[in-house]
Structure 1
Amino acid sequence: MFIEAAEAPQAVARLLSANAVQADSLGAALRDAPPDVVLTCARGSSDHAATFAKYLIETRIGIPVASAAPSTASVYGVEPKLSRALCLAISQSGASPDLLALVDAAAGAGATVAALVNAAGSPLAASADWLLPLHAGPETSVAATKSYIASLTALLQLVAAWSGSAELKRDLVVLPSLLASSWHCDWTALVDGLQDVRGLYVLGRGLGLGVAQEAALKFKETCGLHAEAFSTAEVRHGPMALVGRDFPLLIFRQPDEAAEGIDTLAADCAARGAPVFLVGGHVPGAVCLPHVESSAAIAPILQIQSFYAAAARLSVARGFDPDRPPHLNKVTETI
């Protein structure tokens, strides 16, 4: 896991070069014939990438994005009404039967299918109208790391091409080098602070919610640590009842319109005596983890890279093998 996560900058540089023409072509096609809705189709870490896609597309393009329930096709046999829709399928293996069933149903209903998949020879890749390979290379650790970062990057490259945003295109240029710097951010404070705890919340909002979901999954997968991901807005409802001295929080923050609310939530939780680990900002009472300064769009990608280095260390510190989580396989095929 540690070695593969460290390869993310090279994987991202490879993806950006290899997919440039195809991403530009798909972006132009989407501008010429904009979909009415984008439907994301994914599981696990890929579904967390889909959360990032939702906020990126809705804030930069303005088209609504919804997460599909694969079982509606694979179990219930529903025939969706998806003409003038873009089906955005994200997968590492491209082999799970439920995702394939949903993609086939979407295509049969008239949707355009774009697949972001690491296995370019997979059934999902073969069934797509547009293929954007992730180019992450072999990933043998059960826990996805560089393939997740490649998924976020492929989504950013697509939206940059679709929107024509000069800012996003600049972000893509600097992303590989900033990822390399992010790998060396020292999150020892997080490793030490979580070595003996039983559970925590992982929080984010907007573009940062998807990496909060991903971090919570990695805590469960590799560290035997129960973690739940919430929006910093949603946690103020029922979940806030658990926050206190024995219940830590890891909070992801990006420098955009959500930042003020995230800071307020972090300060409130710290005032309750909860151990608060904040990445991307500085709030009194919180442990502010080192981060690489960047624009809001790539901040979550850089932050999850720093997290992966810390998660691999925390896993070992808690007595686990991050490469062999119990009861899990690298490829999960659900129906």
Structure 2
Amino acid sequence: MMLEVAADPAGKGPEDTLMHAEAREAGEASARFLANNAETLKRIAARLRASRPTMVVTCGRGSSDHAATFGKYLFETLIGVPTASAALSVASVFSAPLSANGALCIAISQSGRSPDLLRTVESYKAAGAFVVALVNDAASPLAELADERLPLHAGPEHSVAATKSYIASLVGLAALAAHWAHDDALLAAIARLPVDLPRAFALDWSAAMPMLADARNLFVMGRGYSLAVAQEAALKLKETSGLHAEAFSSAEVRHGPMAIVQPGFPLLAFATSDKAGDDVRAAASEFEARDALVAMADARDPAGTLPTFGSHPAVEPILMIQSFYRFVNMLSRARGYDPDTPPHLKKVTQTI
């Protein structure tokens, strides 16, 4: 079913938003990132192989912290180095001392200017960590602070809802992990992203529109590499469409959250082609047995409810979130929102 989405009184239809235009550029952004950072990625990877970090600490908020979740699964599954997200308040509010000698600190940011992020990175650097920044503003304080910079090259992003910068962050983390691990299959899949991302953006996810057009709550589910895009999708459903969406691992959702699932309860799921995706598929079947409404992007079933296509399991979530961005922009307009200017939000959030 294709839902008709009318233009607003000012003539702004779903394809006229900044969000739509910027999300559509993700393929070009990924091409710029890979071309401009090729030598830097190799240099960083060589250093990390020569001096293996004791741990990886990621720093980011919002979409950037969701990208960090993706990095966690990459670094732990491909490299075997424990990875955790920093609690930024430890440095910015509590001013607590850190011990980080031998650690890799990866900071992820669109603006590179949030005070608590900068304070945290300063603390880790002073404590002996090697700092790598994935940042869209190459002239930002974060870029100046880092030992190595990986500019996202996403270009200006004016919509409050981050899209192409998030995807560029995922591409950057995947490329860093692939170079570090010498994973040729993953590197080949990443190299195809400038072509595959436009294909993903063109896919029609309107089959999920009827269950979400009037919804108030839903779960978004992933596992492993796809958990990060489940988190990102839940955030975008909140900020662009006024939907209370919660993201869960398909393992975690079977605990307390499953108790509130009633007939008609909506679930959006992201299933990769690996074993983690098998568990997402199994959990989705449990939801359907409770008469929940399930829409799933399934890399094993490209013609399923939400069309997608297979690649390396670590790249499939990047393609899925690209398809989702086009869909959620349409959903936002259908629900009477402007995805470019969510209420109460700014492009750069000055948290301390």
State the TM-score bracket (shorter-chain normalisation): over 0.9
In the alignment, structure 1 residue 249 sits paired with structure 2 residue 262: no
Runs in 1 of length 4+ with deviation above 2 angstroms? none
Q: Quote how far apart the aligned CAs of 1:281 are.
A: 4.8
Q: Where in structure 2 are there 5+ consecutive unaligned residues?
A: 1-18
1:322 is matched with: 339
- The one of 50, 54, 63 equivalent to 2:72 is 54
State whether residues 212 and 251 of structure 1, in contact with CA within 8 Å, keep that contact through their aligned partners in structure 2: yes
1:23 aligns to what SS in structure 2? helix
Supply the AA of the counterpart residue of 2:188: R
Supply the AA of the counterpart residue of 2:115: P
| Aligned-partner Cα distance in 1 for 2:202–2:211 | 19
Pairing 1:27-46 to 2, within 5 Å after superposition: 27-46=45-64
| Aligned-partner Cα distance in 2 for 1:4–1:282 | 29
1:73 is matched with: 91
Pairing 1:2-151 to 2, within 5 Å after superposition: 2-151=20-169
Q: Quote how far apart the aligned CAs of 1:22 are.
A: 0.3
Q: Quote how far apart the aligned CAs of 1:288 are.
A: 2.0
State whether residues 182 and 303 of structure 1, in contact with CA within 8 Å, keep that contact through their aligned partners in structure 2: yes
2:7 is matched with: none
Supply the AA of the counterpart residue of 1:295: H
Q: Which one is further off, 198-207 or 183-192?
A: 183-192
What do the CA deviations read for 1:124-158 (whole angstroms, capped 9, x no partner)? 00000010000000000000000000000011111
Supply the AA of the counterpart residue of 2:341: R
Pairing 1:173-322 to 2, within 5 Å after superposition: 173-281=191-299, 288-322=305-339
Distance 1:102 1:83, change over 3 A: same
CA-based RMSD = 1.2
| Aligned-partner Cα distance in 1 for 2:329–2:193 | 22
1:333 is matched with: 350
2:6 is matched with: none
What do the CA deviations read for 1:254-289 (whole angstroms, capped 9, x no partner)? 111212211111111101100001102578xx9621
2:10 is matched with: none
What do the CA deviations read for 1:185-236 (whole angstroms, capped 9, x no partner)? 1111112321011110000001000000000000000000110001000000
| Aligned-partner Cα distance in 2 for 1:250–1:282 | 16
TM-score by length of 1: 0.98
State whether residues 308 and 320 of structure 2, in contact with CA within 8 Å, keep that contact through their aligned partners in structure 1: yes
State whether residues 282 and 288 of structure 1, in contact with CA within 8 Å, keep that contact through their aligned partners in structure 2: no
What do the CA deviations read for 1:100-145 (whole angstroms, capped 9, x no partner)? 0110000110000000000000000000001000000000000000
| Aligned-partner Cα distance in 2 for 1:270–1:246 | 9
Q: How many residues are treated as equivalent by the alignment? A: 333
Distance 1:61 1:282, change over 3 A: closer
Identity score, percent: 56
Q: Where in structure 1 are there 5+ consecutive unaligned residues?
A: none
Q: Quote how far apart the aligned CAs of 1:246 are.
A: 2.8
| Aligned-partner Cα distance in 2 for 1:287–1:329 | 36
| Aligned-partner Cα distance in 1 for 2:299–2:285 | 11
What do the CA deviations read for 1:277-311 (whole angstroms, capped 9, x no partner)? 1102578xx96210022120100000000000000
State whether residues 299 and 310 of structure 2, in contact with CA within 8 Å, keep that contact through their aligned partners in structure 1: no
1:227 aligns to what SS in structure 2? strand
Q: Which one is further off, 261-270 or 206-215?
A: 261-270
| Aligned-partner Cα distance in 1 for 2:129–2:90 | 16
2:170 is matched with: 152
1:166 is matched with: 184
Supply the AA of the counterpart residue of 2:134: L
Supply the AA of the counterpart residue of 2:269: I
| Aligned-partner Cα distance in 2 for 1:63–1:296 | 19
